[in-house]
Structure 1
Amino acid sequence: MKLVLFDVDGTLVDSQNIIVAAQRMAFAACGLEPPSRERSLSIVGLSLAEAFTVLAGPKGPIAGLVEAYKDSFHSLRQDPANAEPLFPGVERCLEWLHGREDAMLGIATGKSRRGVAHLLERHGWHDVFSVIQTADDAPSKPHPGMILQAMREMGAQPQDTVMVGDSSFDMGMARAAGVLPVGVSWGFQPVAALAEAGAGPIVHSYAELEAVLTEFLNEPSKISV
C-alpha cells in the first residue's frame, strides 16, 4: 500500500478569491493596509499565525488578524457567490485513486480541522481520505510533522509516500520528510518557486498527475525523490 497525500488550497480547491477577500477584511478590521493579491496568495499553505507573521511582520497584531480572518472567512463562505470550486479533474482523480487497492489517500493542509470538515461535507468525501492532518494537528509547513504523523498513522514508509501540492511549503515539507514531492502548476505559486523548493515531477493537469501517480504506485523506485 502506498500513501498519496494532497494539499487542499491551490491543489484540490480553487479558494484564492475567498482567501484574498478574507485577508483584506482581516487587515481592515485591524486598521492595517492589506497586502497585494500576489503577496496574499504567496503565503497560502502556512498556518494562519505563521502566514500573518509573514504578511504583517512579527510585531503585527497576529492574534487579532487570525481571529478576524477566521470570522471573515466563515462569513464569506455563507454566500454561494464565494463558493470554492474544485480544479478540473479532481473528482475523477480521487475516484480513481480511491478505487485502487494499492493506494491510501490523505490530506496535509494548512487549513483548520473545521475547514477540512466543511470541505468533506460539501463534496461527500468522508470515506475518501484515510488520514487527515491539519494546522490543528502539527507545526506549520514546511515542518515535516504532518507527513510524519500521517505515515505513522497509516504504517507507510517514506519511499511509499507522495505529497501533492502547489506551494514551496508543500515541497519543502515533503523533502524534509523524505517523500516524493509532486508539484502542480495550477495553484497559487509560480512553477519556478516549486522547482526551487525541490519539487520532483511538476504536472500541469490532473491527467498528468494520474500518469505520475500510476508510475509511482506501480514502480515507485523509478521516480527519484
Structure 2
Amino acid sequence: MSDLRLVIFDVDGTLVDSQRDILAAMAAAFASEGLETPPRERVLSGVGLSLPETFLRLAGDRDSDTRARMIATYCTAYADLRRAHGPESSPFYPGARETLDRLAGEPFTLLAVATGKSRRGLDRLIEAHELEGMFHSRQTADDHPSKPNPAMIQAALIETGVAAQRAVMVGDTRFDVDMARAAGVASIGVGWGYQPAAGLMADRIIHDWAGLAPALDDLTETT
C-alpha cells in the first residue's frame, strides 16, 4: 500500500468565508424576478450544492426557465462582487492558509478540493489567493453531479492514486460528509462553517485548525 494520503477540502465555509458575496448575489438573483430572498440561514444551508440544485431548493416553485435566469443573474452578480472585492471576496478563515502550507510541505500528504463552485470560480479563487500548485486534484460542479454524489471524491482518488482508506474529506456541511461516506472515505467536519457542527455526523469534528492534524493522523493511520 502506498504511504501517500489525500486530504480533500471543501472550499466555501471550510477554507474561505464567502458568505457576504454569496448572500448579496443571491439577493440580486431573487430581486431580478421580483421575489423575496430566502432567509440567510436557508441560503447558507445550501452552500456546497451545485447552483441548479441550490435554486431548486430555494425556488423550486418556479419553472425551470425562471430558475435558469436566476442562476445567470447570480453568476453575473457574484463575478462582479469578486472583481470589486478581490481576495477579500472570499477571505481565508483564520489559520486556514497556514494549515494548507504546512500540509503541502509534508512529503506523503497530497491536497485536493471538491467544491460546488464552477471551474472558473475555483480557478479565480486559487489565483487570487496565490494557491497555484497547492492542490493535486481540483474537482468542481462543472464536471460532476452535485454533492453528495461521490463522483468528485472518486475522481480525486483516481487522479492521485490514493486508496480510499488513506483519504479524508474536510467540510462544513452534511453534503460533504454524505459524499465522503458514499465514496468510502473518512470525514472531518469543521465547527465554523455554514451548517451546525452538531448535525454533520462526521467521523471527527474540529473547532479550530489546530485540531486537524491529530484527526487526520487518527483517520489515516495504517495497521
TM-score by length of 2: 0.93
Deviation at 1:58, TM superposition (A): 5.4
* Structure 1 consecutive aligned stretches of length 4 or more whose deviation exceeds 4 Å: none
Residue 67 of structure 2 is aligned to residue 62 of structure 1: yes
- Deviations along 1:76-118, one digit per CA (max 9) or x if unpaired, are 1122286221001111111111001111100000000111111
The letter for the 2-side match of 1:66 is I
What do you get for the CA RMSD once the two structures are aligned? 1.4
The letter for the 1-side match of 2:27 is R
Counterparts in 2 of 1:74-223, with a 5 A limit? 74-80=79-85, 83-195=89-201, 199-217=202-220, 219-220=221-222
- Deviations along 1:21-64, one digit per CA (max 9) or x if unpaired, are 10010110122111000101010000000000000015442211
Give distance in 2, aligned partners of 1:159 and 1:52: 34
Deviation at 1:70, TM superposition (A): 0.1
Q: Is the 8 A contact 2:186 2:219 kept in 1?
A: no
Q: Which secondary structure does the structure 2 equivalent of 1:88 belong to?
A: coil
Aligned residue for 1:72? Answer: 77
Residue of 1, 6, 10 corresponding to 2:13: 10
> Could you tell which deviates more after superposition, 70-79 or 136-145?
70-79
> Could you tell which deviates more after superposition, 203-212 or 72-81?
72-81
Give distance in 1, aligned partners of 2:199 and 2:37: 23
Aligned residues: 217
The letter for the 2-side match of 1:78 is R
Deviation at 1:210, TM superposition (A): 2.1
Give distance in 2, aligned partners of 1:75 and 1:113: 17
Give distance in 2, aligned partners of 1:46 and 1:58: 18
Q: List gaps (5 residues or longer) in structure 1.
A: none
Give distance in 2, aligned partners of 1:58 and 1:46: 18
Q: List gaps (5 residues or longer) in structure 2.
A: none
Give distance in 1, aligned partners of 2:28 and 2:169: 32
TM-score by length of 1: 0.93
The percent of aligned pairs where both chains have the same amino acid is 49
Give distance in 2, aligned partners of 1:49 and 1:58: 13
Aligned residue for 2:46? Answer: 43
Aligned residue for 1:52? Answer: 55
Q: Which secondary structure does the structure 1 equivalent of 2:124 belong to?
A: helix
